[in-house]
Amino acid sequence: MAIQYFWRHPLAEQVREEGRIQDRQEMTLHVLEWRGIPVPDAVRERVLACADLGRLEVLAQRAVHATDAAELFADE
């Protein structure tokens, strides 16, 4: 019973959320790298600093079509 309770605990949800955020950050950077697009440190730092899943989804989608890593932040 204690194990089932843990998965509903707020701490467990926080850990899952942090994992989703980290996965999105890494995937965005990997997509650029797989496509052969250089990722400057400034772009890498901005992606890794982002903790908004919705925003990270937008960045990941842009990474698929970008020709330059800076295009991820074209609206800013």
Read off the amino acid at residue 29: L
Predicted pLDDT of residue 16 = 79
With tokens 């992606």, the residue in question is 47
Predicted pLDDT of residue 48 = 95
Predicted pLDDT of residue 1 = 47
Predicted pLDDT of residue 4 = 62
Predicted pLDDT of residue 3 = 57
φ, ψ at 51 (rounded to 5°): -120, 15
- Chain-centre distance of CA 55, in angstroms? 8
Q: CA 74 to CA 70: how far, in whole Å?
A: 7
pTM over 0.85: no
Strand intervals (E) in the chain: none
CB 59 within 8 A of CB 50: yes
Residue segments in the chain with a per-residue pLDDT below the cut of 50: 1
Predicted pLDDT of residue 7 = 63
Read off the amino acid at residue 8: R
